[in-house]
Amino acid sequence: MTIDRGLNKNLNLFMNQEKTTFQHLFSLPVVVAALGYFVDIYDLQLFGIVRVQSLESLGLTTKEEVSSIGTTIINFQMIGLLLGGIFWGVLGDKKGRLSVLFGSIITYSLANLCCGMIPHIEFMDKIEAYKWLRFIAGIGLAGELGAGITLVSEVLPKQLRAIGTSLVAGIGLLGAVVATFTVKLSGDWTIAYFIGGGLGIALLLLRVGVIESGIFKDVVGKKHVERGNFFAFFTNWERFLTYMKCIGIGIPLWFCIGILVYLSNEFGEALGITEKIDPGLSIMWAYVGISVGDFLSGFFSHALHSRKKAIGFMMTFALICMIILLFSGLIKSASLFYALCCLLGFGNGFWAMFVTVAAEQFGTNLRATAATTIPNMVRGSVVLMTISYKFLKPTQGIIMAGAIVGFICFAIGFYSVLTISETHGKDLDFLEE
């Protein structure tokens, strides 16, 4: 058994050496993971883009109603992501990375197709239906990124992991840009939901040729190894701290998206911008920046031989952009606001690196659980951010409420990235005992 495994590893090593860097980076698992994340981001950000338009068309007439109900629906989606992250993460370590990639996309594709039919629902309140469909979509969307990054991390040579996962995220994050143009060109928010659901169904056909990770297959043969035990993150103090620090690294990113960008129309008014700020355009420009940042972050990490330095530099840039946005007094036009959203997005372009770090911190028997639950714990934290923001807003005002929540989030992020273990060049063929 040991001899066979050694021969297999040597054979895999030989085959990896025979492949060029280009062949590795554009292999089927990487391409499919990138396209899957593209559809994931399209559907994840679609509600944020059509939030005002869709809620007004469903009968909400005041800004206060749109803001309050819109925030509630966002929270429903984020809670779905949180719960779905646990479900898909455990499934990915128990049944394999591919089971998650197939199951999650079916779930969120059907939910998005149903979102397109909300105006025609007669058997229940349309707003209530919207909340629960975004909850179901959130559950489905939770599985895509973690399973894809885990699969790519395990099939690529360790020296190419950072670049490979950056390609996945860089291409995938452009889904938000395409979603914005789809809404603008179609002129109807329901069509954008139908297109998103259709893209997901089409992607299922492309996934048929993808094979399971060899590292995962090796673990399946070890009957004594417990796989996908979510509670294992809480039974060992060192493992628990690592898990919480991984979550902490992503907190600033989703503050910037979930508060500053999603609610950009509120911040635009508070800053005294006379032009109307469109949250859909804010999301688009932020994701243009995030996509560029995610493309480059892998090369930064590769050049610096450090995940931590690459994330730390980009997080610092994002903090500076947040301070300029809220306190400089320079942002007085919509075009400048959108430009700063783009720069803010670039500074937060370490999402792929953050998920890669999460995957690299833990053994094969918990890797998919970690890489899937951690980013969705971060997304779920938006619920606490929005509650805190809404609590502070009446007494502190929009700008100070956002700033207080933001500084807390960045403090958590910097502490986490400075104290977590470096994983650049780490061998992933190990287990959590």
31 by Cβ neighbours in 10 Å (0-12 / 13-18 / 19+) ranks as middle
Q: Which of 335, 37, 286 is nearest to 177 (CA)?
A: 286
Mean pLDDT of 60-79: 88
Please report, in angstroms and rounded to a whole number, the separation of the first and last CA atoms in the chain: 21
128 by Cβ neighbours in 10 Å (0-12 / 13-18 / 19+) ranks as exposed
Residue with tokens 């306190």: 327
Backbone angles phi, psi at 136, to 5 degrees: -65, -40
Position 137 scores a pLDDT of: 93
Position 3 scores a pLDDT of: 44
Residue with tokens 């803010």: 344
Confidence class for position 97, pLDDT limits 50, 70, 90: low
Does residue 92 register a pLDDT over 60? Answer: yes
335 by Cβ neighbours in 10 Å (0-12 / 13-18 / 19+) ranks as exposed
Confidence class for position 222, pLDDT limits 50, 70, 90: low
Position 119 scores a pLDDT of: 92
d(C-alpha 299, C-alpha 367), whole Å:
23
Position 11 scores a pLDDT of: 42
DSSP state of 235: S
Mean pLDDT of 48-58: 89
Q: Kindly report the CA angle at 207 between 203 and 211, in degrees rounded to 5?
A: 165
What is the CATH code for 27-208+232-419?
1.20.1250.20
Least-confidence region, from 61-70, 122-131, 243-252:
61-70
Q: How many CB atoms lie within 10 A of CB 16?
A: 14
Confidence class for position 7, pLDDT limits 50, 70, 90: very low
d(C-alpha 196, C-alpha 235), whole Å:
40
How confident is the model over 25-35, as pLDDT tens digits?
777 778 878 88
Position 15 scores a pLDDT of: 46
d(C-alpha 210, C-alpha 189), whole Å:
33
pLDDT above 90 as % of the chain: 37
Query: Mean pLDDT highest for which of 43-47, 161-165, 173-177, 299-303?
Result: 43-47
Residue of 177 and 430 predicted with greater confidence:
177
How confident is the model over 362-406, as pLDDT tens digits?
887 777 788 888 888 898 888 899 999 999 999 999 999 999 999
d(C-alpha 121, C-alpha 372), whole Å:
33
Least-confidence region, from 13-27, 196-210, 245-259, 344-358:
13-27
What are the sequence ranges of the domains in the chain?
27-208+232-419
Residue of 339 and 13 predicted with greater confidence:
339
Residues 351, 352, 353, 357, CA torsion sign: positive
Do 148 and 36 contact (CB within 8 A), yes or no? yes
d(C-alpha 387, C-alpha 19), whole Å:
50
Mean pLDDT of 245-263: 93
